[in-house]
Amino acid sequence: MQNNHSTRARTDLLRDVFFSPKSAFESYFQKHELGGRDLFVTHLSLAVLGILSKFVSNLIQIFVFKVTNTDEETSLTLFQGVFSVFAFYVLMIFVFRLLDSFRLYHKTRDRLTDWDGPEPHVFTVSFLPFTSTAIFWILPPPFPLVFVGIGALYSLQLSYMYLSMIRHWTTAEFFFFFLKASLFFLFLTFFPLLVYNIIRTVSF
């Protein structure tokens, strides 16, 4: 019974984030029906949908090619790009979680006036439309990438909408936050390479 309730709540959140974004945020942060695990499951389910969409897309393209080119063989396979699409969305899910973690600690706050602190999972909720673009991998290229771009822009708009309303962020603050986050991710990417090169230089 509880699983059915969680599934319905996740479905309602996904619907509201498209048709009533403000209600989606209010529902998540005020009703407390869902948690971080539920958001992760929702994102992961959409990523799995990307696997199915890409597989069906490959199947259609192979069928069309065989019908229209009876004398040639196609290099496209049923599983080509399927797991790459899934890996891409899973990677982005962790990026959203890191963005939320970075947002919680990227500037100091006055505990006397803001005892509870910033709301968690703002970006994880905002970027549900981005992960939802997984369904569009059923379309031939370059349409999936177009919808990925549209989903990213819409998700950014949602995150800015919430942070500007609740946290009173300005456009400049939002821009500089992403600038800081980009530097943070660059550090996370290149620091292991730096350590590896130092160890290799010392060892050899």
Residue 176 lies in a domain: no
Determine the pLDDT at residue 115: 54
More confident of the two residues 59 and 32: 59
Contact 120, 161 (CB under 8 A): no
As for how many domains the chain has, the answer is: 1
Q: What does the pLDDT look like over 159-194, one tens digit per residue?
A: 999 999 988 899 999 999 999 999 988 888 888 888
CA distances from 144 to 124, 139, 140 (A): 21, 6, 7
Is 59 contained in some domain? Answer: yes
DSSP alpha helices (H): ranges in the chain? 2-19, 21-26, 36-68, 82-105, 122-126, 128-132, 143-166, 171-203
In a domain, 189, yes or no: no
Cα distances from 31 to residues 11, 23, 199, in angstroms, run 15, 11, 50
Question: Domain span at residue 37?
Answer: 2-169
Task: Flag whether pLDDT at 113 surpasses 80.
Answer: no
* Strand, helix or coil for residue 109: coil
pLDDT in tens, 43-92: 999 999 999 999 999 999 888 877 777 666 777 888 999 999 999 999 99
pTM above 0.75, yes or no: yes
Per-residue confidence (pLDDT) for residue 18, from 0 to 100: 94
In a domain, 36, yes or no: yes
Please report whether residue 154 resides in a domain. yes
Write the CB contacts of 203 (distance below 8 Å, at least 6 apart in sequence): none
Residue 191 falls inside a structural domain: no
Q: Do residues 7 and 33 touch, judged by C-beta distance below 8 A? A: no
- In this structure, of 17-21, 27-31, 68-72, 165-169, the range with the lowest mean pLDDT score is 68-72
User: Is residue 182 domain-resident?
Assistant: no
**Is residue 174 a part of any domain in this protein?**
no
**Over residues 34-50, mean pLDDT:** 93
Q: How big is the chain, counted in residues?
A: 204
Among all chains, which residue has been given the structure tokens 């996904």? Answer: 14
Please state the φ and ψ torsions of residue 120, each to the nearest 5 degrees. Answer: -80, 165
**Phi-psi category of residue 121: left, alpha or beta, with phi > 0 → left and psi -120 to 50 → alpha:** left
